[in-house]
Amino acid sequence: MVAVEIVDVYTRLCEAMLSADVKVLDSLMADGAVLTHMTGYEQSKAEWLEHIQSGKMVYHGIDTQAVEQEGEDSFIARSYTEATIWGAHGTWPLQLSGRCERVGDTWVLANIVASTWQ
């Protein structure tokens, strides 16, 4: 059951990114969550949500190729992600490594690390 819940966090994350639903994104992430971009830039949850809401970061499409649970509380997902990030538009082969934590009886993202894959 945990594997389904962890993978579901990724699925809901993608849906909320594509619809720019910062309310759902906020609920999917721990208060201290950090997103590490493929450039190495570490972005706080608050800053990421503000950039999505303001249109500085727009996700146009996420074509998930694979998503698997890693260990008890993490997932690794590979996708082709089309986005406009700080003015740069492209489609990137992204690997997201997400670590989740329990808050009550719900899994939320504690951190996400984005990198590229071949």
8 A C-beta contact, residue 10 and residue 75 = yes
**What pLDDT, on the 0 to 100 scale, is given for residue 1?**
45
pLDDT number for residue 2: 63
Q: HEC profile for 47-68?
A: HHHHHHHHCCEEEEEEEEEEEE
For the chain, 118 residues long, the average pLDDT of each consecutive 10-residue run is: 81 98 98 95 98 98 96 96 97 97 94 95
CB 44 within 8 A of CB 59: no
Query: For strand 74-85 and strand 88-103, is the pairing parallel, antiparallel, or unpaired?
Result: antiparallel
pLDDT the model gives residue 4: 78
Task: Set out the domains of the chain in order of their start, with CATH numbers.
Answer: 6-116 (3.10.450.50)
> Which pLDDT value is given to residue 99?
97
